[in-house]
Structure 1
């Protein structure tokens, strides 16, 4: 144990002159602890929301999507390119189009995606999001019945249509007729199921049918206007997409799941940064308490400083004493804060004490994703701020004249 550490510990643990001095020390430690704990919990919750939203998006979307008009021959070419890439896990061609669904006097805009259920199940987890009905009816429609259609749950609520009802899909890209101009294309579909992905944008706009039905309706018979790709490792998405752009050329528009949700992910990152910045101010305020506490101690222990200087202790020795005091306060507060923050985060993850309205947030409990990197970063930044707060008090104490300190101390 160094002499500087021994003196610093004695100064902090010894009885102080006046209750106010002891309170300021406690406030300094408590402020650092609460700031660190609040920042760790907030980062865990923000990362939890981001992970939850990302998971819902990946469940409903492919890792990479290739857009472009593809006749059957073009589709085979794209498939051949994908099969040569060892990072590929599965692919699913689809037909995507926009239209208006009408039922019982109500009309709602929708995005219709046609695919083969067996192939789509290998690309995303949409099949697990079915809350009513069956995907089998898309692949094997009942004889003589209209094509099957699965609706997003929120879309079904807006339309008022449920499994068993027949809806009409209207496309503005109709056929021109003599005398009447452009006649919208219309086709009747039978609702056979409901999907709830947990991501409102999908559940409120998407409708799903077979690729054959969508191809006939939107003008892609036997072909597609997109291919969804699932990778063995989602982290390979940017590199794999860049390789496909180079191989397939400009005829196709290739996007990763992050490209298609760039605005959302950017907003989440900005929100996390702002929240972290606001909560970091708590720690900054606590460092001012540490600085004021050390300044008060330098005045209170003025005579002791003078005696130490008279005994041969140099300015560097005095500085180290006060740095150790700031260090002890910082480490105590950070340790308590880390334990408190991790404890609260684990408690929220295990016990859903904070229930959220599922109709608004699509989740029933606060999501928590506790990351070691966030804990270490919070502790490191907090420690740096605390040590910076000890610089001025340490310099001020080290510049005291030994004679004046003993005379006026």
Structure 2
């Protein structure tokens, strides 16, 4: 250990004649500690929210969808489906019908999104039929009687619809034209239950019906709107979507994937995370000003000692190093405590979920937490960099002191 580190350590351990410098040092350490800990907790919670949102999107949507240009209906012949099925990375597929419609029950009516799905194939591409109430409702329909329908939980609640009741769906797609105007197609459906997708947008607007019932209701014959596709790695969906498009013909077919469809949402979440990083880093910056103030007062108090050191041959760089080491030591202690405190608090939040959230607003009932090593590294690096910069001015002032004037200083 060089004399610079030895003297810096003695300064930190020594009692000040002014009395309050050690207190300011402690306050500086606490400031860095609080800033680092708060930043880590906020980043972990935002990571948790992002992970939860992605999990909900992946669970309720196909990873890739195959459509025709212009969203024109098409007949999914076996040759087409086989080319999709045998594409590398494809795990499962299921055709679907998708359109806007009007739902009426009693005096209540609302605009909805109608999705016709294959009860046998849909569980392979999404989790929607695993989230039904009553549990296990599969939309199985033998073609007789009113076809079943599953309503989003929020939609059913807003309309006051109960399981077993009858609803009427109306659509202008392929509607009949008469001398008196266009007459919408109307069909009665039996409410078989509800589903909770975990996302308000789906719960408040989506109605699921059997694929055959949707095709008959809309007069589509054997045509479908698209094909839902599940892949072996959701995060490789764009790459596999391009492969599917190449296999089936591009054009007339095109593909979309869950990442591109939600790119705006993910971009917003990433931007919000960066903004929060900058805002909370200001807490560390305030603590760094305390470090600078502490070192300036130490320089004032130790002026005579600095003069003695320089008269004994201490270099400008050596004096500079003494105060840089002092400041970075204060920053390192605060940063280390903040990292430990942040990890402990995140672990407690993840383990015990003691901060409840209103599930009807946030779609989850407790704070989601996901710690990432890269966040700890970035926060530690940013904290130490800020603290290092804060030490430079007082250290430079100390190194520029004239030894003769410093020794005479009282």
**Distance in 1 between residues matched to 2:313 and 2:273, nearest whole Å:** 51
Residue equivalent to 2:296: 295
- Distance in 2 of aligned mates of 1:271 and 1:250: 37
Q: How many residues align?
A: 406
Q: Which residue of 2 aligns with 1:12?
A: 12
Pairing of 1:8-407 with structure 2 (within 5 A): 8-68=8-68, 69-72=72-75, 74-132=76-134, 134-136=136-138, 138-141=139-142, 144-247=144-247, 248-407=249-408
- The answer to whether the Cα contact below 8 Å between 1:87 and 1:240 also exists between their aligned partners in 2 is yes
| Deviation, structure 1 residue 19 | 3.0
CA distance in 2, matches of 1:78, 1:379: 53
When structure 1 is superposed on structure 2, of 259-268 and 57-66 the one drifting more is 259-268
- Deviation at residue 326 of structure 1 after TM alignment: 1.4
| Stretches of structure 2 lacking an aligned partner (at least 5 in a row) | none
Does the CA contact (< 8 Å) of 1:32 and 1:283 recur in 2?
Answer: yes
Quote how far apart the aligned CAs of 1:70 are.
4.8
- CA apart distance, 1:133: 5.4
Per-residue deviation, 1:398: 0.8
The CA distance in 1 between the partners of 2:176 and 2:84, in whole Å, is: 39
Name the residue aligned to 2:409. 408
Q: CA deviation at 1:79?
A: 2.1
Cα distance in structure 2, aligned partners of 1:392 and 1:258: 48
Residue 255 of structure 1 deviates from its aligned partner by: 1.6
Contact 2:62 2:126 in 1 (8 A): yes
Take 1:246 and 1:400, find their aligned partners in 2: how far apart are those partners? 73
Unmatched 5+ residue regions in structure 1?
none
8 A contact 1:215–1:222 mirrored in 2: yes
Does structure 2 conserve the Cα–Cα contact (< 8 Å) formed by 1:47 and 1:369? Answer: yes
Structure 1 residues 266 and 53: CA distance shift in structure 2, 3 A: same
CA distance, structure 2, for counterparts of residue 75 and residue 266 of structure 1: 37
Instruction: Tell me if structure 2 keeps the 8 A contact 1:152–1:202.
Output: yes
* Contact 1:129/1:196 (8 A) holds in 2: yes
What is the RMSD computed on CA atoms of the aligned residues?
1.7
Distance (whole Å) between structure 2 residues aligned to residue 399 and residue 177 of structure 1: 92
C-alpha distance in 1 between matches for 2:220 and 2:263:
29
Instruction: With the length of structure 1 as denominator, give the TM-score of the two structures.
Output: 0.95
User: What CA distance in whole angstroms lies between the structure 2 residues aligned with 1:393 and 1:173?
Assistant: 75
Deviates more, 1:20-29 or 1:247-256: 247-256
| SS of structure 2 residue aligned to 1:17 | coil
> CA offsets per residue over residues 91-149 of structure 1, 9 Å max, x none?
1111111101100111111111111122111112222211225433x2334x6321111
Using the TM superposition, give the Cα deviation of residue 246 of structure 1 relative to its aligned residue in structure 2, in angstroms: 4.3
Summarize deviations over 1:266-306 as a string: whole Å, max 9, x none: 22223222222211110111111111111111111111111
- Take 1:75 and 1:311, find their aligned partners in 2: how far apart are those partners? 92
Greater mean alpha carbon deviation, residues 12-21 or residues 307-316: 12-21
Partners in 2 of 1:261 and 1:14 — Cα distance? 58
* Structure 1 residue 360: Cα displacement: 1.7
Task: Indicate the SS of the match to 2:120.
Answer: helix
CA–CA distance in structure 1, aligned partners of residues 65 and 207 of structure 2:
18
Q: 2:290, 2:341 → 1: CA distance? A: 21
Query: Aligned equivalents of 1:178 and 1:406: distance in 2?
Result: 106
Per-residue deviation, residues 25-84 of structure 1 (Å, max 9, x unmatched) = 112111111000000000011111111111111110011122224533x44344233233
| Structure 1 ranges of 4+ moved more than 6 A | none
Q: TM-score, normalised by structure 2?
A: 0.95
CA gap 1:110/1:178 in 2 versus in 1, 3 angstroms: closer
Tell me, yes or no, if the aligned pair for 1:65 and 1:254 is still in contact at 8 Å.
Answer: yes
